[in-house]
Chain A
Amino acid sequence: MDAVVRHRLVSVQAILLALPPAGVTLALAIVAGAELAGHHPLTGGMPQSVPEAIVMRDEATAARLIDEGADVDAIGLIRAGTYADRAILATPLEAAVLADAAAAFDRLVARGATRTPNLGCLADDVGARAVRQRISGSSSCVRGAALAELLDRP
């Protein structure tokens, strides 16, 4: 009986020692298996629009969607949990400002995306320093107004 109890104590200790790192490895294995099976736990899956790809910093998918005919000025849905807790409707350039993705911003402009007047104020609102350097003007910003306008977009 004594031996049985001692054996169990060793096992509990061994399990406690192994549990955190082995648990993370198992969780990652489950995520990998689920993805191979076509699911996407813990992520939103493939970007559904050019703006969503840009806020995910997935420029390759954004470029592919544009190559396949997506409009560089079209407002697209950024799902809740991707950039913020709520869903956002934004143009690709606005998405580049939200993510402060300067290279994506430059490439969208090069591909003919239209700079709207609110971009500089939006960059100020979200603290997008890298993108802000690429946008001239917009000196008369009401703090927070551009971001509020974007978030309230119907």
Chain B
Amino acid sequence: MSVGAPLAVAEAPTAMPRRWTWIAQAYGLLVSAVLAYFLLGLVIQVSDSFGNLLAVQASSMGELLRGQLSQQAYLRPLLWAQIKLVYEWSGGDYYAWFRGVHVAQVVVLIALCVRLMRPATATDAALVPLGLAVLVGAHTFVPLLREAHPINSYLSIAIACVAAANLSFQAAPRRLTDALALALFAGAVLTVESGVLVWVVCTAAYVLGARGLSRSAIVRMTWCLAAYLAVRMLVLDVGTPSLAERASGFGFRQLEPAELQARFEGRAWMFYLYNVVSSVATVLFAEPKGGVWRFVYELLTRNVHPWTLVSVLSSTAAAALVASFVWTRRGRVRTWTFDADDRIVGVFAAVLAANAVVSFPYTKNVIMSPAGVFFSLAVFAAARHRIARPGRPIVTVALFAILTCGWAYRVAGNHYNLRYTAAAERAVWVGVDDWLDRQRITLGSPEAQTLRDTLRADALRVHPTPYQPGSAWMRWFDIDW
């Protein structure tokens, strides 16, 4: 298939350039609607969510915020404020409100991503399904849907980062845009630590020549970042998670906190370096996942699962596409003149590096979700460039065959994953009292017992388990825990 000359025709401005933008946004809405349907199959989970709801039920907003200021390892006051607000607004209809917020977040994220892709031609619009497949099919994305606390803070950060990129990529700065960017930064950084990535996005975009935000906005945001770090470290004395904080992947398996301490006490930097390198690799190559080198293990034991193989192949092909884009544009670095696609790829590189550094204490797929989101945008930009200037057509056709089919397969797998999770989450609600015993949580008040009963009834009776796929599907898909 020759993909050279005809495309020059396709890239020419059309009579209605906005038509393809609208078609792309409509496709984004379809992707969101399908995701929303599968997302609504999940209920509010026991682990991470029920305990948090008990905490917000028992405390006033002021107590919650004050409690956050005395934490040892985390500073997330706005996350708790959001949970408290939705809890109060729900009036007891927790499933509808928390799931509704989750669905709204997904819709907003996908719409912002499509906007950032700027599809203006038929070819651009044809690449949007690939771009969104890289977004939705990634192993860093599915935990954004599967997990919640019961608001998924990492999804909030991913939205804030993409929104910040949208503001940065505006044609010219405006006061409102600057103010929005500062508000996004403040909101994100006080929701979860990786909110600092909003600053990374804005600063990287500015350095690469994007002028949607003014220089003074970038300077003010930098001052805010410095103030945040100073208050966090010097005033509130909030540290970072220690080795004893939680389990983390290392090598071929998950290590418990005691094992991590035994192995890395006194040389924690080695573990942190491992985490940073693993975090970069997981976005680019889908290996390791959560710090565990599963594909390598399967290769060594000659038991490669189709899901693992497709994940690694499709991610590596996507990384190769982005790398080839960077190589062909290297001349622009010398002149420091970049177009929008260059900037998207540049911002992705900055977010990938910063996201990996931020997640140094432990590795988890979901923490790298902002980098995963920008990876999809970088793949879209690189694909647009590659299609316009295909070079060796056979290589291009092979590359796009792996990319489109591989990522489509991963999209299907992640929806399977959501179905599987819908049953797994409800199973925990069957034995919620055992879980409470294990966590040494006593439901002292009648309100707490009512909350448990309401959420349990939601999980077991009001919103029954969605239809589960048969065993044959398990041969093809797997769960990227």
What is the distance, in angstroms, from B469's C-beta to the closest C-beta of chain A? 5
Interface positions, chain B 382-423, Cβ under 8 Å from A, are 387, 400, 404-405, 407-409, 411-412, 415, 420, 423
Residue in contact with A18 in the complex, picked from B126, B405, B470, CB distance below 8 Å: B126
Structural contact, B468 and A17, CB atoms closer than 8 A: no
Given contacts A43-B469, A63-B460, contact A13 B6 (CB under 8 A): yes
What is the distance, in angstroms, from B430's C-beta to the closest C-beta of chain A? 5
Number of interface residues of B (CB under 8 A): 55
Structural contact, B6 and A43, CB atoms closer than 8 A: no
What is the distance, in angstroms, from B268's C-beta to the closest C-beta of chain A? 33
Structural contact, A22 and B427, CB atoms closer than 8 A: no
User: What's the Cα separation between A93 and B468 when bound, in Å?
Assistant: 20
Most buried by B among A26, A27, A60, A104: A60
Smallest CB gap from B420: residue in A = A57
Structural contact, A21 and B460, CB atoms closer than 8 A: no
Q: Total number of A-B contacts with CB less than 8 angstroms?
A: 147
Q: Which residues of B contact A11 (CB under 8 A)?
A: 122
Q: Which residues of B contact A42 (CB under 8 A)?
A: 469, 473
Interface positions, chain B 1-36, Cβ under 8 Å from A, are 1, 3, 5-7, 9-10, 27, 30-31, 33-34
Residue in contact with A64 in the complex, picked from B30, B420, B461, CB distance below 8 Å: B461
Would you call A141 an interface residue if the criterion is a C-beta within 8 Å of the partner chain's C-beta atoms?
Answer: no
Most buried by B among A32, A35, A46: A32
Interface positions, chain A 26-68, Cβ under 8 Å from B, are 26-29, 32, 35-36, 40, 42-47, 55-64
Would you call A142 an interface residue if the criterion is a C-beta within 8 Å of the partner chain's C-beta atoms?
Answer: no
Interface positions, chain B 111-134, Cβ under 8 Å from A, are 122-123, 125-130, 132-133
Given contacts A10-B7, A17-B126, contact A43 B467 (CB under 8 A): yes
Structural contact, B468 and A21, CB atoms closer than 8 A: no
What is the distance, in angstroms, from B468's C-beta to the closest C-beta of chain A? 4
Structural contact, B412 and A56, CB atoms closer than 8 A: no
What is the distance, in angstroms, from A6's C-beta to the closest C-beta of chain B? 5
Would you call A81 an interface residue if the criterion is a C-beta within 8 Å of the partner chain's C-beta atoms?
Answer: yes
A-binding residues in B (CB < 8 A) = 1, 3, 5-7, 9-10, 27, 30-31, 33-34, 37-38, 122-123, 125-130, 132-133, 387, 400, 404-405, 407-409, 411-412, 415, 420, 423-424, 426-427, 429-431, 459-461, 464-473
Can you list 10 A-B contacts (CB < 8 A)? Answer: A7-B9, A10-B6, A13-B1, A13-B3, A13-B7, A14-B126, A17-B400, A28-B38, A64-B464, A107-B431
Closest 3 interchain pairs by CB?
Answer: A60-B426, A14-B126, A21-B133
B-binding residues in A (CB < 8 A) = 3, 6-7, 9-11, 13-29, 32, 35-36, 40, 42-47, 55-64, 81-84, 103-104, 107
